[in-house]
Amino acid sequence: MAFGGLEKKPAAAPMAEINMTPLIDVMLVLLVIFIITAPLFTHAIRLELPRVAAAPAPQEPHTVTLSIDAANQIYWDGTAITLAQMRTDFATAAHSDSPPEIQLRAERSTRYEVIAQVMGAAQQAGLERIGFVTDPPAATADSHQIQ
């Protein structure tokens, strides 16, 4: 009775499966180690920081409101100006110590061409902060729908 043999079997194929049990064991051991050591990393260091009596300097951002009505008339802070005057005002504002933020208000019926000219003139002058100011829609029963 032979339980084992030294002869090779011609039909024996190599094992093509990966044994996942040791990999899972290592992963679980690492997980337990991280769970145990994670609270140790939350300790604090006491520092005596210097105290300063100076108040922070208030910095108020300068804003310019540009309004465009339905007749394509441009208003600089409420004063009517032409496109050429706006370009010179942009150039002087861009060369100031703190360039202003441009808040652009336009009526719904204003042509996009005029808005694009204003934005292009501001960009050419070097003004980078341009914001669009809009009014919220009136509260109605169907306020969740976009009009």
The domain limits of the chain are: 63-132
Q: How far is residue 52's CA from residue 69's CA, in Å, rounded to a whole number?
A: 50
pTM over 0.75: no
Fold adopted by 63-132 = Nucleotidyltransferase; domain 5 (3.30.420)
Query: Is residue 142's pLDDT more than 60?
Result: no
pLDDT: which is higher, 90 or 15: 90
Confidence (pLDDT) at 5: 59
Count the neighbouring beta carbons within 10 Å of the beta carbon of residue 125: 20
